[in-house]
Amino acid sequence: MADNMKPIASYVFEMQDLNGWYGDRQVLKNISLLIPEQQITAIIGPSGCGKSTFIRCLNRINDLIRDFRISGRVLFKGQDIYDPAMDPVEIRLRVGMVFQKPNPFPKSIYDNVAYGPLIWGARKGPELDAAVEKSLKRTALWDEVKDILHQSALALSGGQQQRLCIARALAVEPEVLLLDEPCSALDPIATSRIEELLFELKKSYTIVVVTHNMQQAARVSDITGFFLLGELIEVGETKHIFTNPTDRRTEDYITGRFG
């Protein structure tokens, strides 16, 4: 499974026999996976294979879904995030998330980015302004919005809104950024801007991207994992997965013979 991985200095996430159920339906089966630090890991697979469910386990946002439960361990820097003593709210501070459909708050651009720091105790003032600016600069949005910071975020284009959501997530200084099909709702130009952004962000954050677009996974990621019907079929260096995958099912999916 992880036989095509170069030994890397450190891993940020380690999944050990992760299983997940919606009620009686099992959607994740025995997932064991390592997510390396400061690299982009892509998760690919056909619809319904569990990849979105999987990534949502990494910041426990699946807790919001009433019927969902897991077994197994999810270790974040050595600590099991599903340990009862762990507060999911703390985890989400360190593991940020961006969703498929851009979901800015119906507030101003400034208020969107400032929301995170504010709920974690930041005070309004020049420091907060600087933090907002820093986040927006990091997502290459600053120049476009610096004069309209107090306009509604909903007035931005889809691509800009998604970059705003990324800036918002970065404002609380997470260590990991999870992106669940971030470009599905965007046009190709907005998509490529976000992909460029991910390359930049890789230098400072560990990134996990779920995508149904294989070319995107190929372009952007260092490590790729292939999910099928809730199982992790194969994981390895992206260049290996896309030139010479080990598992027949991976090859068939990648070449479009099914899915």
Partner 1 sequence: MKFLSKDLRGILVRRYWADRIFRLCTVTMFLITLGTLAALLIDVFSDGVGRLSWAFLTSFPSRKPERAGILSALVGTVYLVILTAVIAFPVGVGAAIYLEEYARRGRMSRFIELNIANLAGVPSIIYGLLGLELFVRTMHLGQSLLAGALTMALLVLPLVIITSQEALRAVPPSIREASFALGASLWQTIWNQVLPLAFPGILTGAILAASRAIGEAAPLIIVGALTYIAFLPDSLIAPFTVMPIQIFNWVSRPQNGFYEAAAAAIIVLLALLFLMNVVSVYLRQKYQKRMSL
Partner 2 sequence: MKRHVDEEMETLKEKILQMGAMVEEQIAYAIRALVERDSERARRVIENDHRVNALDVEIDEDCLRLIALHQPMAGDLRFLTTAMKISTDLERMSDLSENISERVIELNEEPLLNLYIDIPLMAQHAQRMVKESLDAFVNRNSDLARKVCQDDEFIDNLNQQIFRELLAFMLENPRSISHAIRISFISKYLERIADHATNVAELVVYLVEGKIIRHTGL
Residues that bind partner 2 (CB under 8 A): 214-215, 218, 242-245, 250-251, 254-258
Select 43 or 61, whichever has its Cβ closest to partner 1: 61
Instruction: Select the residue interacting with partner 1 from 120, 129, 150, 244 (CB under 8 A).
Output: 120
**What is the DSSP secondary-structure string of 44-57?**
E-STTSSHHHHHHH
Give least dist CB 8 to partner 1, A.
27
Instruction: Select the residue interacting with partner 1 from 77, 101, 134, 249 (CB under 8 A).
Output: 101
Question: Stretches 5-13, 20-28, 85-93, 237-245: which one binds partner 1 (CB under 8 A)?
Answer: 85-93
Q: Which of 188, 215, 186, 182 is nearest to 201 (CA)?
A: 182
- Residue 166 binds to partner 1 (criterion: CB under 8 A): no
Question: Stretches 18-26, 37-45, 90-98, 188-196: which one binds partner 1 (CB under 8 A)?
Answer: 90-98
Residues 31-60 within binding reach of partner 1 (CB under 8 A): 59
- Residue 163 binds to partner 1 (criterion: CB under 8 A): no
- Residue 106 binds to partner 1 (criterion: CB under 8 A): yes
Neighbours of 201 (CB within 10 A): 20
Select 45 or 117, whichever has its Cβ closest to partner 2: 45
CB under 5 to 8 A by kind: which of partner 1, partner 2, none does 182 bind? none
- Residue 219 binds to partner 1 (criterion: CB under 8 A): no
CB under 5 to 8 A by kind: which of partner 2, partner 1, none does 154 bind? partner 1
Instruction: Select the residue interacting with partner 1 from 25, 47, 66, 189 (CB under 8 A).
Output: 66
Structure tokens belonging to residue 192: 């490529």
- Residue 161 binds to partner 1 (criterion: CB under 8 A): yes
Contacts of 247-251 with CB under 8 Å at 24 or more apart are 250/226
Structure tokens belonging to residue 110: 């400034």
- Residue 119 binds to partner 1 (criterion: CB under 8 A): yes
Whose tokens are 């975020």? That residue is: 153
Instruction: Select the residue interacting with partner 1 from 28, 44, 131, 165 (CB under 8 A).
Output: 165
